Amino acid sequence: MKSLAIQNTLELLHIKTTNLGTSTGANFFGNGAEIESFSPVDGKLIGKVTTTTKEEYEKVVKTAQAAFKTWRVMPAPQRGEIVRQFGNKLRELKQPLGELVSYEMGKSLQEGLGEVQEMIDICDFAVGLSRQLHGLTMHSERPGHRMYEQYHPLGIVGIISAFNFPVAVWSWNTALAWICGDVCIWKASEKAPLCSIACQNIIAEVLKKNDLPEGISCIINGDYKVGEFMTTDKRIPLISATGSTRMGKIVGKTVGERLGKSLLELGGNNAIIVTPDADLKMTIIGAVFGAVGTAGQRCTSTRRLIIHESMYHKVKDALVRAYKQLRIGNPLDETNHVGPLIDTDAVKMYENALEKAVKEGGNKIVEGGVLNGEGYESGCYVKPAIVEAENHYEIVQHETFAPILYLLKYAGNVENAIEIQNNVAQGLSSAIMTNNLREAEAFLSHAGSDCGIANVNIGTSGAEIGGAFGGEKETGGGRESGSDAWKVYMRRQTNTINYTTELPLAQGIKFDL
């Protein structure tokens, strides 16, 4: 992509060379140190963003608190109308925003556009939901009494997101939080800060046009220390954090200490089980896309293939052939399959993981390696690798955010494969490739996959927004996006109303005066 074209993209999104990185609505300000955003695509500096100081953070919280007072009493379907307008703006700006995601984060343009599509989809979902924030009604044990429950807005939702989905994960949270009547403060990843400025510019315009208070959408920028402003802050009842398990444990503990709520969406160690009844072609497409898509930097990326011994050589040979066809290079060039890793630290982690896998006894069947030379000047491009390994290796038990796929073998029935699949600390996404009903149902049963996501005949990545997204164990237990995930953004209240002139007590207790 020519630099001229990226200039045009930045202009359409109102991104400047130096951006103020703290914002309440349309009002940007900032005095903190600068973060420089370099593109992993070509290593060039795209722009700078100021980080948020403690004083600026205080201003953000005050503005958000003021905005909440207006927003919480606006009828939910009217809040939905604002989210509808935001979704329409995203439709208009899908191309430039997708390009910025691709250029700043390094995923393929197709995936960058796909990410914006997820934002549009969650907006549509939230608009419908804004008329469906249902509670239950119950029959009271006391005559002339009625019981029901309501869901009320929580307040300020703090969102901490990761570099790999620099816009979509924010929208999964905000679109729902907004229709629920909450206001949001977003700390984006310091590895993709310009994406947060672009999103804020879009929503700020919508809010301004509707004469709504600034502070419904706020952003703060910086590293984990800026995140800590929020995690330690009692004025923020819910923190939704996406990122590594290491980060999640710290956030969970800090928020837990003040008895706040946290929604954690952390690491995965996702596997596809390939049984003797698997369709080979579907298996290869699912596994290769899962392992190398987004250069292996999705939480749902396929890390392990657990293959029945009778299929092992067939699958292995087909994978090696498929990997030979992979084109690695500039993600904005649509003929490439694999773009760069986010930065050179990620490249080091990739190299260390491969080295460790071999040291533990692994056998590299697709070599991998760092690319250099023309087109690879950023130093962030690596070749996807495949290693024959065993599940108990320390490195296999660990999530490495890179395109490394481990091949594991199983013998006997599907229960043995399920045991291997579950035998890791994480529990996000899982899949089985089979045409055998018994195997598929065993995989989905109470004794089957222990993950938040379990798929049959599709891979581990590429979840739709309609389902609840998240996982168990060290993945953190949170659920975002579809189904009833909205409930975490609200507080539940049980109401009992007495419409008689008597005051009977519950449980038949008598208290006469």
The residues binding ligand UN1 (CB under 6 A) are 164-165, 169, 242, 298-300, 461-463
Q: Which is nearer to ligand UN1, 89 or 298 (CB)?
A: 298
b/e code 450-477 from CB counts within 10 Å (16+ = b): bbbbbbeebbbbbbebeebbbbebbbbb
* Dist CA 135 CA 277 (whole Å): 44
**Residue 439 catalytic?**
no
Min CB(30)–ligand UN1 separation in Å: 27
Q: Which is nearer to ligand UN1, 254 or 294 (CB)?
A: 294
Min CB(23)–ligand UN1 separation in Å: 24
* Residue pair 75/377 in contact by the 8 Å Cβ criterion: no
* Dist CA 85 CA 235 (whole Å): 29
φ and ψ of 199, to 5 deg: -65, -40
Q: Which is nearer to ligand UN1, 82 or 105 (CB)?
A: 105
Min CB(160)–ligand UN1 separation in Å: 12
List, in sequence order, every residue forming a beta bridge with 492; answer none if it has no partner. Answer: 151
Strand 270-274 with 429-433, pairing? parallel
* Dist CA 5 CA 99 (whole Å): 10
Q: Which is nearer to ligand UN1, 298 or 308 (CB)?
A: 298
Q: H/E element holding 64?
A: helix 54-71
Q: Which is nearer to ligand UN1, 66 or 456 (CB)?
A: 456
Min CB(210)–ligand UN1 separation in Å: 29
Min CB(469)–ligand UN1 separation in Å: 7
* Dist CA 11 CA 353 (whole Å): 40
Min CB(240)–ligand UN1 separation in Å: 12
* Dist CA 206 CA 148 (whole Å): 35
Q: Which is nearer to ligand UN1, 53 or 189 (CB)?
A: 189
* Catalytic, out of 56, 118, 214, 265: 265
* Neighbouring C-beta atoms of residue 223, cutoff 10 Å: 13
Q: Which residue has the tokens 């080979």?
A: 280
Going 82 to 84 to 90 to 93, the CA torsion angle's sign is: negative
* Neighbouring C-beta atoms of residue 394, cutoff 10 Å: 10
* Dist CA 359 CA 421 (whole Å): 23
Min CB(396)–ligand UN1 separation in Å: 20
Q: Which is nearer to ligand UN1, 217 or 300 (CB)?
A: 300
Catalytic residues: 265
